[in-house]
Chains A and B, each alone.
Chain A
Amino acid sequence: MKPKIITISFRILSEGEIVPTFEKNIHTLSKKQKRNFSSQFIQDLMTAFTEGVANAIRHGHELEQNKAVEGIIKASAEKIEMVILDHGPGFELGKVLTPRFEELTESGRGIFMIRQLMDEVVYKKVGGVNKLILRRNFAESGEEARNLNFLYEMSETILKNPDPSLVYKVILDRALEMFKVERASILILDPKTNKLTVVASRGMTDTIKNQIQVKPGEGVSGYVFLHAKPCLIEDIDNNASGWDRQKQYKSASFISAPMICSPMRLGHESIGVINMTDRIDGKPFTKKDLNLLTTISNQASAYLYICNLINRLKESEGLRRDLEIARKIQQSYLPGDPPKITGLKLAGWCETASKVGGDYFDFIPDEDSAVFVVIADISGHDVAAAMTMANFRSQLKTILQFEKNPSRVLMRLNQFLYKDLIKNDQFVSVILFHIDVRKNTVEWVNAGHVPPLFLRENQGRTLDEGFHRGCVLGVNLDENYVSNLMELRENDFLFLLTDGLCDNRRLDKEIYGLEKIQSFIKKNQVDSPVVILDKLKSELKTFFGNDFLTDDMTAVLIKMG
């Protein structure tokens, strides 16, 4: 039975009443809806409520006594909504939500913080009343991501025993649990016969399994494999996905609808597909299911890659093999060409030192006009660091399926990776940018990473003083990462780097340093980021000479416009 909708109204006269009012009301809600809130959930709501009401008292009423801030707290089956009303002159929410970095003040941060904790914030003036609405969904987006948290289980297993069938098993078990399906299968291309064959399955008899031989291009699996596009089929005889059942099937089909099918890819090469079909609850699959399956199949591919690598290099002696594995993992994880987004130019490179490093960067598109840019440095330079990087990357991509708020993304990443990191005495420094071209903003979180450089016209600065920065991942399980928001203008530059870029020393102990980098970008600012980074690379090669690097160097350059 769905929980009832409960509405409670409140009236607060002074700041001292805020917390007790909240606690009393949330307790009542929880009792009436027979629902237990996690302590983190209550903490988030309370912080947002406190900031919202305090702001209404302070700015709305300008500390005028005896004027109450009123409102309601309403809980439905899906979400909780807190409406805060005041009669003051109000403020411009847009301004507070996108403070310019020069103007970031203490008072702006309260409202700004609310935005991090809530799923939706609306502010409007109705008649003479200011209405601040704060919404948070009950479904903890992290829950689903947590279900996918089989990565370190997997990396441990395959390092001990690099057997692909273990990867298949873990993937299928987890997928079955998540999608609640009766049948699932993994098909891999057999290069000898050029056919996709079943390497692992659930809910299929051995006879059927052995019969399935799919040519690339044939049927749903063959179509998905050949075109490298995930596919959701609602009705197998009447679909609009570009393939035709009659024409395409040369051999018998064993699939039924609805189904989802996702390609397994390594770089630009398809290696197989994952199919899910026959939902136990009979519900249709959604686009979200398909995205989830795609994430799983990407992760499976990454682990199969590591398996193959270990097997291929079996003959080499220990240390050399380890270094080779680590290097290959690192290289395979760096992105290809950056995504094309109108109004934004992106470029990045990573130069690996003689010792294998733990540098990582990536561009992850978010809808049409926004992109996540991430740069990270994993401590250590060995296979463990490379495996951590593999985990970090998969976890990040998984979390981004559910969670778009950068500070919450990092909090979850920290929680997911924590156990593994402390076990290996490792940590990760990371910056996650979310650049929205339509809103002209960058929102970012810094977890113990070298601060970004920002250049506007001829003014440059590092984004450290006056901005929130948290501790590296893997040290403090409860670290609260707070994000920063800044308006961007055309021709603004953002430059992300790893410490290698400022710490690498020439033989004469000279470093290249941040100031030199800054003036280099200034000098070349008419060029595109790709050209600037190319020039910077040759400049660094000249500077360091042939003895070159002791640490990885990674740089990402972003230009608006």
Chain B
Amino acid sequence: MIRYSEMKDSIMLVSLEGSLEVGKQAKLKDDLIKIIPVTCSTVVLDLSLVEFIDSACLGALIGLTRSLRAKGGEVGLANPNTEVRSIFQITRLDKIFKIYDSVDEALKQFSS
């Protein structure tokens, strides 16, 4: 699920991969919470290698976003494939999440 993560200035960049589907949501959330330092509240998730995401894992991402926003932070989603993007459009979660075409664009937006 988590391919790698690195700190870019004060922003945490996490690259996800594979199919994010039911059964993996608890681990996804736990792993993300573990690698994101308590002091960090801005996260960019690189979705370019995510093939598919279902509602259970979407729920985990919503939960993560909610807790980071409570700290005054934000989550950016970068480069989702067409299928993943369409899931955000159907659920209208595209109104809630900030979605960017590339990691660079997300990092640029967040660092400014």
**Which residue, B55, B62, B87, B93, has most C-beta atoms of chain A within 10 A?**
B55
Are A448 and B96 interface neighbours, CB within 8 A? no
Find the A residue at minimum CB distance from B95. A471
Within B33-69, the residues touching A (CB, 8 Å) are 54-56, 58-60, 62-63, 66
Pick from B25, B54, B59, B92: contact of A470, CB under 8 Å: B92
CA distance A177 to B20 in the complex (A): 46
Are B93 and A379 interface neighbours, CB within 8 A? no
Interface majority SS on A: helix, strand, loop or mixed?
A: loop
Are A380 and B59 interface neighbours, CB within 8 A? yes
Are B25 and A380 interface neighbours, CB within 8 A? yes
Verify if B85 is at the interface (C-beta below 8 Å from A): no
Q: Mark A230-260, 1 if CB is under 8 A from B, else 0.
A: 0000000000000000000000000000000
Verify if A355 is at the interface (C-beta below 8 Å from B): yes
Pick from B60, B62, B91: contact of A429, CB under 8 Å: B91
Pick from B29, B54, B92: contact of A448, CB under 8 Å: B92
Residues on A with C-beta less than 8 A from B59 are 379-380, 424-427
CA distance A425 to B63 in the complex (A): 5
CA distance A137 to B51 in the complex (A): 50
Are A475 and B56 interface neighbours, CB within 8 A? no
Residues on A with C-beta less than 8 A from B54 are 379, 551
CA distance A422 to B59 in the complex (A): 9
Verify if A327 is at the interface (C-beta below 8 Å from B): no
CA distance A450 to B90 in the complex (A): 6
Residues on B with C-beta less than 8 A from A499 are 55, 87, 90
Verify if B2 is at the interface (C-beta below 8 Å from A): no
CA distance A166 to B95 in the complex (A): 41
CA distance A424 to B62 in the complex (A): 11
Verify if A469 is at the interface (C-beta below 8 Å from B): yes
Verify if B7 is at the interface (C-beta below 8 Å from A): no
CA distance A426 to B26 in the complex (A): 12
Size class of the contact patch on chain B: 20 to 34
Find the A residue at minimum CB distance from B64. A425
Residues on B with C-beta less than 8 A from A358 are 55
CA distance A516 to B5 in the complex (A): 41
Verify if A381 is at the interface (C-beta below 8 Å from B): yes
Residues on B with C-beta less than 8 A from A81 are none
Are A425 and B93 interface neighbours, CB within 8 A? no
Pick from B22, B60, B90, B96: contact of A475, CB under 8 Å: B96
Are B96 and A380 interface neighbours, CB within 8 A? no
Verify if A218 is at the interface (C-beta below 8 Å from B): no
**Which residue, B54, B56, B59, B66, has most C-beta atoms of chain A within 10 A?**
B59
Q: Mark B69-102, 1 if CB is under 8 A from A, else 0.
A: 0000000000000000001001111011000000
Find the A residue at minimum CB distance from B63. A425
Are A472 and B91 interface neighbours, CB within 8 A? yes
Verify if A436 is at the interface (C-beta below 8 Å from B): no
CA distance A207 to B62 in the complex (A): 55
Residues on A with C-beta less than 8 A from B55 are 358, 377-380, 427, 429, 499
Are B58 and A427 interface neighbours, CB within 8 A? yes
Verify if A476 is at the interface (C-beta below 8 Å from B): yes
Residues on B with C-beta less than 8 A from A450 are 90
Within A339-382, the residues touching B (CB, 8 Å) are 355, 358, 377-381
Minimum distance in angstroms from A411 CB to a CB of chain B: 15
CA distance A283 to B29 in the complex (A): 54
Q: Can you show 23 pairs from A to B with CB atoms below 8 A apart?
A: A355-B22, A358-B55, A378-B55, A379-B54, A379-B56, A379-B59, A381-B22, A424-B59, A425-B60, A425-B62, A425-B63, A426-B59, A427-B58, A427-B62, A448-B90, A449-B90, A450-B90, A470-B92, A471-B92, A471-B95, A471-B96, A475-B62, A476-B95
> Which residues of B line the A interface, CB within 8 A?
22-23, 25, 29, 54-56, 58-60, 62-63, 66, 87, 90-93, 95-96
Which 9 interchain pairs have the tightest Cβ spacing?
Answer: A379-B55, A448-B91, A425-B63, A425-B59, A471-B92, A380-B56, A379-B59, A448-B92, A472-B91
> Which residues of A line the B interface, CB within 8 A?
355, 358, 377-381, 422, 424-427, 429, 447-451, 469-472, 475-476, 499, 551
